[in-house]
């Protein structure tokens, strides 16, 4: 995530996942602590697919390859 439009897309996606993932629902284009926390909640909700293969137990807030794969799965009507 490097530019405002990518971050806005991420925030819009996280918002679409509901208040359990992104209760604030802000779509600002700024990757701050609220967005990071939402990414962590998303990662932990899908721990088996995102974190476990990497040997992680807690979300990192980093939108790396495993997180992107899961997001893209949902965006492709998964």
Number of folded domains that form the chain: 1
pLDDT for the residue numbered 32: 96
Global confidence as pTM: 0.94
SS3 60: coil
Asked if 4 and 29 count as a contact pair (C-beta separation under 8 A), the reply is yes
Is residue 1 pLDDT above 60, yes or no? Answer: no
Residue 47 makes CB contacts below 8 A (sequence gap 6+) with: 57
Q: Please give the Cα distance from 27 to 63 (Å, whole number).
A: 16
| pLDDT tens string 30-58 | 999 999 999 999 999 999 999 999 999 99
pLDDT at residue 78, rounded to an integer: 62
Domain interval for residue 41: 4-75
Q: Which of the four pLDDT bands, split at 50, 70 and 90, describes residue 77?
A: confident
């Amino acid at each position: 995530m490097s530019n405002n439009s990518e971050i806005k897309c991420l925030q819009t996606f996280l918002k679409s996942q509901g208040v359990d993932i992104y209760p604030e629902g802000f779509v600002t284009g700024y990757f701050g602590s609220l967005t990071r926390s939402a990414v962590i909640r998303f990662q932990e909700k899908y721990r088996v697919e995102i974190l476990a293969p990497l040997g992680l137990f807690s979300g990192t807030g980093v939108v790396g390859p495993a997180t992107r794969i899961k997001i893209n799965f949902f965006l492709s009507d998964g």
